[in-house]
Each structure stands twice: as structure tokens, then as C-alpha cells.
Amino acid sequence: MGEQSIFQQVQDTCIYLRERLPIELRKPRFAIICGSGLGGLAASVNKSPRAEFEYGSIPHFPISTVPGHVGKLVFGTLGADIPGVLMVGRSHYYEGHTVDRITFPVRLFKLLGIEMIVVTNASGALNPEYKVGDIVVLNDHIFLAGLAGTHPLRGPNEGEFGVRFPSLSDAYDIGLRRTTHHAWGKVIAAENKRRLHEGVYAFVGGPSYETRAECRLLRQLGADLVGMSTVPEIIVARHCGIKVLALSLVTNNAVLAPVPRGDDRLLQGSTAGELDTIVEEGKATHEEVLEAGRLAAVDMQQALVDIFATTDN
């Protein structure tokens, strides 16, 4: 027998899950992809009915190896008993997966009957107006890897999912973006300093964080945020005809200032310790990403419950 197509693999996975799900969860209507540190969003799912599957137990499913990405599908209901599924953790291109492999779950959502996907992530802010802890509703993206040919739709078109040449000029659903702004104003207390913005996200391959020069380049191209996920998932979701809402949590402010020069006269008398302090300023760490995600998960959870209640009406 020849190698299975992506569609056949997704069919296998869909059958596997439906055979093990309670009947009221077999036709989920929404999916949430939880980014770094945002696994706490699973708390928004009602305790019953509920079913969980470790990624390693699901046929063909890509496995995440990144700290902060637990690696399980959580099926359940949200708000007014709307059935859905949460991906608690995702796989990334930098882990060695191909871009079509990391988007396998999105194609699975298509066959499960998902109508809407909420994609969340942690990102670095290129826009100087953004602060750590702010949340940004994505309205566009920059996918340099895709422009260069590393694209999740490359190869023979899987017509069961969508057309050969999908349009992405309106990839991020304006109705869902509008609903998110309304929900945020309703559920987030006035004294809460976490702000909501809209902006453009730039995808980079990782796993290294961006250099200062790379950050300046992306900012000049029009990006407000930079991160290592989300865009391939968005592209495949739109190819599949699924509506998309993407929320990005700012976990650090990218350093755009040029790296200090070795011939700077002001640094000639600095000690080694002082030089280390200057260079370390603003450097991103995965630990701060996880902590910011933990603190933001509650606010995101409140907003999402209201969003789903609104879109269900």
C-alpha cells in the first residue's frame, strides 16, 4: 500500500476521536489553540461532559516538546453548553516538524465540523505602544517564510479541504474582531491595566529570539508583533473555510535599539559587569513568557466566554 494522503490521515484521526467521544461532543463547533503559558484557558471548559486525549495517543497527531505546552486535546462545552475542543499546547516548525505537519490539527478541526478557531500565542512587541501583558487582536500577518516557499499549502492541493489559491486579504474575520472589542469592554474591569489592541503579526522560524537588526527590519515592514507560531495555522484554517480569531499576548518588548558598539567612547571605562548589564537589557526568556501567560489566562478566559456567548446568538 502507498503512503496515505494528508486527507486520509486526518480521516483516520477523526474516526478515532469520534469513536471515543461522548455523543454530545462529537460535533464541536469551535476550537481554541492555546499558546505558550496559556494552557490555563482549559479552565474555561465545563467539567461535564468532557474528554481529554494526550497527543501521543492520537494517530498521526504532531507532538509538542516545548515547556508550557502540555500536549492534549480537551473536548467539552463552553458558556451556554457550546461544544468545542481546546488544543492545550501546539507543535512548532522549530521542533523539526514541517509546516504541513504542524497544521494537521487544523485540518482535523475541519473534518470534525469546526466553524470557528481562536488561535492564541505569546509574542514580542515591536510596536513601542504595546506593554507586557497587553493583548493584541491580529488583523493581518507577515509570513516571510511563506513568501520564500516554506508554505503549508505547498504541494498537490488537497481539494477536500479547500481551493488551490485561497485569498488571505481578509484572513482575520472582522466580525469576530469587532465582537472581541465589545466583549473586552464588558468583562474586563476598568481598573485592569491590561489593554487590548489590533495589530500585525510577523512569523519567524525560531527557536532563537530575533536579533536587534531583525526586529528593526520587521518593524519597518509594518509588523507590530513577532512570534514563532500561528500564521501557518491561520493559512490552513482559511484554506478550510474556517473563521479565525487570533489573540496575541505580549510577553516581552523586543529590543530595537542597535547593539552597543565596541568603539563607543562612553563604554571604554565600563567594567565587564556593567557591559553585561547593558547587553542583557530587554533580552527575552521563555520563563517570562510562561509567567505572563499564566497571569493573562484569566482575563482571556473571561473574554472568550463572552465572545462565544455572543457569536452563538
Here the CATH number for the domain that contains residue 256 is: 3.40.50.1580
Highest mean pLDDT among 32-36, 119-123, 275-279: 119-123
Give the pLDDT confidence of 52-85 residue by residue, as tens digits. Answer: 999 999 999 998 887 666 789 999 998 778 899 9
How does 234-264 read in b/e, with b if 16+ C-beta sit within 10 Å? bbbbbbbebbbbbbbbbbbbbbbeeeeeeee
How many beta carbons lie within 10 A of that of residue 207, not counting itself?
12
Number of structural domains found in the chain? 1
Structural domain including 223 reads 6-311
Report residue 103: phi and psi, to 5°.
Answer: -100, 5
d(CA 283, CA 69): 22
Stated as kind and residue range, the H or E segment containing 279 is helix 272-280
pLDDT for 1: 47
Say if 140 falls within a structural domain: yes
Binding positions: 36, 69, 90-92, 122, 210, 229, 252
d(CA 233, CA 104): 9
Question: Would strands 225-227 and 196-203 be described as parallel, antiparallel, or unpaired?
Answer: parallel
Binding positions for a purine D-ribonucleoside: 210, 252
pLDDT for 130: 95
Say if 1 falls within a structural domain: no
Nearest Cα to 30, choosing from 87, 92, 97, 68?
87
Query: Average pLDDT of 182-194?
Result: 78
Helix (H), strand (E) counts: the chain: 9, 9
Residues 6+ apart with CB under 8 A from 94: 205, 206, 207, 228
pLDDT for 296: 74
d(CA 180, CA 310): 10
pTM over 0.75: yes
Give the chain's mean pLDDT: 88
pLDDT for 65: 80
* Residues 283 and 251 sit within 8 Å (Cβ to Cβ): no
pLDDT for 113: 96
How many beta carbons lie within 10 A of that of residue 118, not counting itself?
23
Residue appearing with cell numbers 474591569: 189
Say if 36 falls within a structural domain: yes
Binding positions for phosphate: 36, 69, 90-92, 122, 229
The residues annotated as belonging to the active site are 36, 69, 92, 94-95, 122, 228-229, 252, 286
47 band by pLDDT with thresholds 50, 70 and 90: confident
